[in-house]
Amino acid sequence: MPSKHTSKHSYTESEKKSIYKVMSERRDVRHFNQKPIDYETFMTILSSAHLAPSVGLMQPWRFIHITSRSLRENIHDIVDKERLLTAQALGEKKEEFLRLKVEGILQCAEVIVAALPDKRDEHIFGRRTLPEMDLASLSCAIQNMWLAARAEGIGMGWVSLFEPDALKKLLNMPADSHPIAILCLGQVDEFYKKPMLVEEEWTKERPLEEMCFTNGWNKP
Amino acid sequence: MPSKHTSKHSYTESEKKSIYKVMSERRDVRHFNQKPIDYETFMTILSSAHLAPSVGLMQPWRFIHITSRSLRENIHDIVDKERLLTAQALGEKKEEFLRLKVEGILQCAEVIVAALPDKRDEHIFGRRTLPEMDLASLSCAIQNMWLAARAEGIGMGWVSLFEPDALKKLLNMPADSHPIAILCLGQVDEFYKKPMLVEEEWTKERPLEEMCFTNGWNKP
């Protein structure tokens, strides 16, 4: 719901509406049909990452496009191994978890591994006490991609079920780099109306009010 | 530049244009004029955070709205202390860093501290091997706020120059919570045409091509 505020810098009502619409309709997608994505659309989505903010302008994003089918299958194996280990760790929710579709690596059109670069210790600005700000910047970049993909009618899923060391080894990544996402992009028959984990009744969303405090950590 | 791809799920050219425009024009803002933000606009921006994706739908975002002037001044003190320590750590770039405006905490209309919640260890889905995925989710939420703020004509800055333990103590935060951002929101005379660190010649942006690899970590 766009606010009615206007200053000389504010966007038109119609522009704002598009922006809130894409935020509302963006979904973490695991169900892809097998149709391809054209190269121009793929590059438009990837380029949106590069518009993201970054701490000290370090641009800590690296994207490994997986075009080899056998590598994609190896990545799927790494994820499936972690899926089973996660299921074990979930205890009584194990069976329910195993029924969920948690990734679409073999069905999506394109796979990108997103990673933090090597030599990050050279960057001190904004990271001396909070070194994890590089991950924050890369995550902002991925959120841009998610929104761009939705606008282009493309589904995107962020898979974080993997052992990072296994993925690093598979992709010859430097010891001080760090993969944080296997991004699956592809066409979909339908976008989920609600987050898939809500549709599947895995969990419920809680209201924003429960997450807002004033002047200190207190009861909402 | 919106792609020409169309499927039944893709947005109109005009909608896409608005979305890429806001990604391009969003800036990390430190220069605010002292005009207020109306409550509706403030809540619209904050609500956009709650539209973000989150790992296992854990919604790991907590927002502490700082309405007390003295608390805001205490927060500024914590940031200024870290600003000086960062300057020391930067060695030969010390003087250049000290000339930069790195935050607008005392001039902006509203301050929000964004934090990861306590009891995060209960959440295993997508975090068994990558526990930092909660930070990734909160960062996606903050990117939504940044885009929403820009669309509303409001500047936002993410300050990460602080000692997290000092901020936790000041705001009575639980030991296992973790503050990651001091967000400054306010009206601005002008948005920077380029990232402020580029305008100030602190650093240069590098092209996306340098950050993209194929099938492994290799030369761009």
pTM more than 0.90? yes
Quote the mean pLDDT of chain A: 95
Residue B217 per-residue DSSP state: S
> Percent of chain B at pLDDT above 70?
96
What is the reported pLDDT for A185?
A: 98
Residues 6+ apart with CB under 8 A from B202: A57, B96, B97, B100
CA distance A214 to chain B (A): 5
Which residue in A125, A165, A196 has the most chain B C-beta atoms within 10 A of its own C-beta, making it the best mutation to test that interface? A125
pLDDT of residue A6: 66
Shortest CA distance from B56: residue in chain A: A197
Residue to test with chain A: of B34, B183, B198, B215, most A Cβ within 10 A:
B215
Our CA-based measurement puts residue B135 at a distance from the nearest CA of chain A, in whole angstroms, of: 7
Average pLDDT, chain B: 95
Q: What is the arithmetic mean of pLDDT over A70-90?
A: 98
Which H, E and C letters describe chain A, residue by residue?
A: CCCCCCCCCCCCHHHHHHHHHHHHHCCECCCCCCCCCCHHHHHHHHHHHCCCCCHHHCCCCEEEEECCHHHHHHHHHHHHHHHHHHHHHCHHHHHHHHHCCCCCCCCCCEEEEEEECCCHHHCCCCCCCCCCHHHHHHHHHHHHHHHHHHHCCCEEEEECCCCHHHHHHHCCCCCCCEEEEEEEEECCCCCCCCCHHHHCCCCCCCCHHHHEEECCCCCC
> Which among B19, B124, B161 is the nearest to A18, CB-wise?
B19
CB contact under 8 A, B142 and A146: no
Whether the CB of B34 is below 8 Å from some CB of chain A: the reply is no
The dihedrals phi and psi of B219, each to the nearest 5 degrees, come to -60, 140
Contact A21 B15 (CB under 8 A): yes
Work out the pLDDT band at B7, boundaries 50, 70, 90: confident
B59/B72 Cα distance (integer angstroms): 26
What pLDDT does residue A7 have? 81
CB contact under 8 A, B160 and A212: no
Q: What is the pLDDT of residue A19?
A: 98
Contacts of B217 in chain A (CB under 8 A): 62, 64, 171-174, 177
Judge whether B21 is closer than 8 Å to chain A, CB to CB. yes
Set of chain B residues whose Cβ sits within 8 Å of the Cβ of A138: 136
Chain A: closest CA distance from residue B31 (Å): 14
Is A143 in contact with B52 (Cβ distance < 8 A)?
Answer: yes
b or e along A131-165 (b: 16 or more beta carbons within 10 Å of the residue's beta carbon)?
Answer: ebbbbbbbbbbbbbbbbbbbbbbbbbbbbbbbbbe
- CB of A46 within 8 Å of a chain B CB? The answer is yes
- Superfamily designation of domain B27-200: NADH Oxidase (3.40.109.10)
Q: What is the pLDDT of residue B128?
A: 96
Q: Indicate whether B1 pLDDT > 80.
A: no
Give me A23's structure tokens.
């935020």
- Phi-psi region at B153: left, alpha or beta (left = phi > 0; alpha = psi -120 to 50): left
Residue A2 has pLDDT above 90, yes or no: no
* Among A153, A168, A209, residue whose Cα is nearest residue A32: A153
Share of chain A above pLDDT 90, in %: 95
User: Do strands B155-159 and B110-116 pair parallel, antiparallel, or not at all (unpaired)?
Assistant: unpaired
Instruction: Compute the radius of gyration of chain A from its Cα atoms.
Output: 19
Q: Which residue from B150, B132, B62, B108 is spatially nearest to A53, judged by alpha carbons? A: B150
Q: Please report residues of A whose CB lies closer than 8 A to that of B172.
A: 216-218
Lookup: tokens for B15: 């909608």
At A155-186, the pLDDT tens digits run 999 999 999 999 999 999 999 999 999 999 99
**pLDDT band at residue B219 under the 50/70/90 scheme:** low
Reported ipTM: 0.97
A62 vs B: CB within 8 A? yes
Q: Residue B124 is encoded by which pair of tokens?
A: 């295993």
B151 is written with which tokens? Answer: 């669309």
CA distance A56 to A217: 29
Asked if A144 and A75 touch (Cβ cutoff 8 Å), the reply is: no
Instruction: Give me the mean pLDDT over the B86-99 stretch.
Output: 96
Q: For chain A, report the end-to-end CA distance as a whole number of angstroms.
A: 23
Cβ-count burial A65-83 (b if 16+ within 10 Å, e if not): bbeeeebbebbbebbeebb
Confidence band for A5, pLDDT divided at 50, 70 and 90: low
Sorted by where each begins, the domain ranges of chain B are: 27-200
Kindly identify which residue of chain B lies nearest to residue A144, measuring between CA atoms.
B23
Chain B CB within 8 Å of residue A112 CB: no
SS3 B159: strand
**With 60 as the cut, is the pLDDT of residue A136 above it?**
yes
What would the pLDDT profile of B121-175 be if each residue is shown by its tens digit? 999 999 999 999 999 999 999 999 999 999 999 999 999 999 999 999 999 999 9
Kindly list the distances between the CA atom of residue B30 and the CA atoms of A97, B21, B62, B192, in Å, as whole numbers in the listed order. 44, 21, 23, 10
Partners of residue B31 in chain A, C-beta under 8 Å: none
Instruction: Give the phi and the psi of residue B112 in degrees, each rounded to 5.
Output: -130, 130
Could A135 and B136 be called an inter-chain contact, meaning their C-beta atoms sit closer than 8 Å? yes
CB distance B7–A153 less than 8 Å? Answer: yes
Spatial contact of A76 and A106, defined as CB atoms under 8 Å apart: yes
Is some CB atom of chain A closer than 8 A to the CB atom of B144? yes
Q: Provide CB contacts within 8 A for B116, sequence distance 6+.
A: B60, B61, B62, B134, B135, B138, B177, B178, B179, B180
pLDDT at residue number A218? 83
Count of C-beta atoms within a 10 Å radius of residue A194: 10
Q: How far is B103 from chain A (nearest CA, A)?
A: 11
Percent of chain B with pLDDT over 90: 95
**Buried residues in B96-119 as b, exposed as e (16+ CB within 10 A):** ebeeeebbbbeebbbbbbbbbbee
Q: Which residues of B43-54 are buried (b: 16+ CB within 10 A; e: fewer)?
A: ebbbbbbbbbbb
In whole angstroms, what is the distance from residue B152 CA to residue A143 CA? 19
